[in-house]
Structure 1
Amino acid sequence: MEIITGVERRRRWRDEDKLWIVAEAEAPGAVLAAVARRHEVSRGQLFQWRRQVRRGELSAAPIVPEFVPVRVMAPPAIAAPCVEKRAAAAPGAGHEAASRLQSPPSSPGRIEIVLPDGTCVRVDDGVGLTALRRVMTVVRA
């Protein structure tokens, strides 16, 4: 139940939302009144959107490819190799523990991001966008 305390205004529906609701209403076995109730839309409005879809007046916006500028830079002459930050090695672990902290050789599917403050993030090409955003948010903080 929605309680409106101020002046009631018209809701603005995005075309994608309208198309989604119409598609749900036209699915096999769907009950138009139930779909309208679930999305808090009048049945008349839903019939109007269906008519618009059938006439071609309401359609999804075409997906336009978008290019993002990328700048490839030569590594700075004084840049130190990227070092993985792991738990500190146990005292007396010697050369073996130190060699694990050095960056592994670059593999073709690996992406290395070096921030201006020297922080380095290495990910494989299979990392998800959501996971990478979370990591970058934490690193920048």
Structure 2
Amino acid sequence: MMGQEILIDVERRRRWAVARKLSILSEVGVDGATVSDVARRHDLTRQHLYQWRNWLRQHSSVAARDVRFLPVECMDDRGAVAGPADVTRPGRVDIVLHNGRTIGVSGDPPDALLARIIRIAETA
């Protein structure tokens, strides 16, 4: 006669705050960390992270709260602040995000476009 095994276990269901989800998602891509690496680090499945990403894309206003623009001073190679004539010349600005990714911006794009690019790069 074959014995049967009955497994009784408490279903493990965790609730994650939106801020915590964003924090975990922002780790993807930092120092080459993959979705699998981040999922393992937080004892999650890859599917969890993909679901969170999709939810974020659908509710982009949540991610938009954290996008803020700060004044920028142009500096030359020596670290000196450039004069007013240099500021008007369209140049390149590199924006380093929390997740370690860098966005290079040239010219003067509209704020809404730049905010959208930042949101996409942070949640991708």
**Above 0.5 in TM-score?**
no
**Normalization by structure 2: what TM-score?**
0.39
- Which structure has the bigger radius of gyration? 1
Q: Which has the higher helix share?
A: 2
Higher relative contact order (CA 8 A, sep 6+): 2
**Normalization by structure 1: what TM-score?**
0.35
